Amino acid sequence: MTGVTTTRLVLFATFIRVALAAVPLYGQCGGDGWTGETTWSSLVQPAFTLTSKWYSQCIASSASPTTTTKSSTTTTKSSTTTTKSSTTTTKPATPTAAPSGITTVLPASAGYTALATASVISGSFDGKMVKYDRKGSSGECQGQTETGEEDAVFILQSGASISNVIIGKDQAEGIHCRGPCTVTNVWWEDVCEDAITIKQTGSGDVSTINGGGAFNADDKIVQHNGAGRVSISNFFASTFGKLYRACGNCATHYERHVTVNNVCLKSGSEGVGINTNWGDTATLSNIKTSGKPSSANVCCTYTGVNQGSEPSKIGCGDGYSACQFSSAVGSC
């Protein structure tokens, strides 16, 4: 074996070891306690990594997103060059006091990130008022076309929480909660299909939405497809179909409940919609409206039906026992 051939074989073996050791597509590349590989394979060519204190993942995309913090490192070994793509680093912030009042103006964003795929959150995520959406991906807004979880901006695992985030207009679905979740001071610049979808399945499960607001929802802001209760407080809704809707034709006929306190409803059709034949209830206090919806349309009742059919409206107003008002409807 000649010296030249031996050298080529050594270089080839080195290349194979580097390629195999590098992080594969969708593999973990960082986070607290991570001792594994942090270099991406040049064969994968990922476009984006969403990094938190707890977990970093190698994600590929056909369209490179814009991020607020960028870093680029090039390492050359023999004939192999590995380049890390742009990353956004976020850390959970020290918990702050929950919002106690209503803000009616969309906050200014502290930056912008377009996600190639939905970001899955376990634990807590503080977005520090950065705007996120799905521009340039399959998760862009598709009007009222039925989309799914894969088109969301954020997917919250059971027990997860998200705070201080602006969700931009270029997205089909805002947030999907796979189980009980906590959403604090989250804003939707322009709702596409639904702003947030609740899919918890336990009768005692509670998801909490505190503070924040949503603009321009052609249909629903909060879609409750699962069971249990949703609590909405200190929230602003502007130009919308419904603030909350308990699903009236989902495959599973859960009993669903909603508690709404201290909200301002401006230029909407209805406040909440519930299915009384399935035992749904709405508990409402400190509700304020611009006159649209009217005080009578703050709570409306429906008859839930099987999947594939459309529920029929029974009526609206505090004359229906499932709509429990603890105070008169005010104005905002």
Whether 117 and 37 map to the same domain: the answer is no
Question: Residue 41 corresponds to which tokens in the numbers above?
Answer: 């394979």
| Rounded Cα–Cα distance for residues 312 and 305 (Å) | 8
Upstream peptide bond of 293 is cis (omega within 30 degrees of 0): yes
The DSSP symbol for 40 reads B
Whether 227 and 164 map to the same domain: the answer is yes
Distances from the Cα of 39 to the Cαs of 30, 60, 76, in angstroms?
10, 14, 12
| Rounded Cα–Cα distance for residues 24 and 296 (Å) | 56
The 10 Å Cβ neighbour count of residue 229 is 21
Tens of pLDDT, residue by residue over 78-104, are: 333 332 323 333 333 333 456 778 999
List beta partners, residue 112. Answer: 131
Report pLDDT for 34.
Answer: 52
Whether 186 and 52 map to the same domain: the answer is no
| Domain count of the fold of the chain | 2
For residue 146, count CB atoms less than 10 angstroms from its CB and return exposed for 0-12, middle for 13-18, buried for 19 or more.
Answer: exposed
In a domain, 69, yes or no: no
| Rounded Cα–Cα distance for residues 51 and 61 (Å) | 16
| Rounded Cα–Cα distance for residues 291 and 296 (Å) | 10
Tens of pLDDT, residue by residue over 259-279, are: 999 999 999 999 999 999 999
Q: What angle do CA 311, 216, 205 make, to 5 degrees?
A: 55
| Rounded Cα–Cα distance for residues 182 and 220 (Å) | 19
Whether 36 and 182 map to the same domain: the answer is no
Whether the Cβ atoms of residue 154 and residue 162 lie closer than 8 Å to each other = yes
Q: Is the pLDDT of residue 23 over 80?
A: no
Report pLDDT for 143.
Answer: 77
| Rounded Cα–Cα distance for residues 28 and 247 (Å) | 36
Report pLDDT for 193.
Answer: 84
> If DSSP states are collapsed to H, E and C, what string results for 256-317?
EEEEEEEEEEEEEEEEEEEEHHHCCEEEEEEEEECCCCCHHHHEEEEECCCCCCCCEEEEEC
What is the mean predicted confidence (pLDDT) over 223-236? 98
Tens of pLDDT, residue by residue over 150-200, are: 999 999 999 999 999 999 999 999 999 999 999 999 999 999 989 999 999
Whether 38 and 155 map to the same domain: the answer is no
**154: CATH:** 2.160.20.10
Question: What is the domain range of residue 41?
Answer: 23-60
Whether 116 and 30 map to the same domain: the answer is no
Whether 162 and 36 map to the same domain: the answer is no
Quick one: which of 159, 84, 160 has its CA closest to 119? Answer: 160
In a domain, 13, yes or no: no
In a domain, 299, yes or no: yes
Tens of pLDDT, residue by residue over 311-326, are: 999 999 999 999 999 9
The mean predicted confidence, pLDDT, of the chain is: 80
| Rounded Cα–Cα distance for residues 332 and 131 (Å) | 27
In a domain, 204, yes or no: yes
In single-letter form, the type of residue at position 57 comes to: Q
Its pTM stands at 0.72
Among the ranges given (35-39, 121-125, 327-331), the one the predictor scored with the smallest mean pLDDT: 35-39
Tens of pLDDT, residue by residue over 125-151, are: 999 999 999 999 999 998 766 778 999
Whether 169 and 287 map to the same domain: the answer is yes
In a domain, 209, yes or no: yes
Report pLDDT for 36.
Answer: 65
In a domain, 301, yes or no: yes
Whether the Cβ atoms of residue 177 and residue 229 lie closer than 8 Å to each other = no
Tens of pLDDT, residue by residue over 41-78, are: 444 444 444 444 444 545 443 333 333 333 333 333 33
Tokens 């000649």 found at:
2
In a domain, 87, yes or no: no
Whether 56 and 156 map to the same domain: the answer is no
The DSSP symbol for 7 reads H
In single-letter form, the type of residue at position 27 comes to: G
In a domain, 80, yes or no: no
Report pLDDT for 199.
Answer: 98
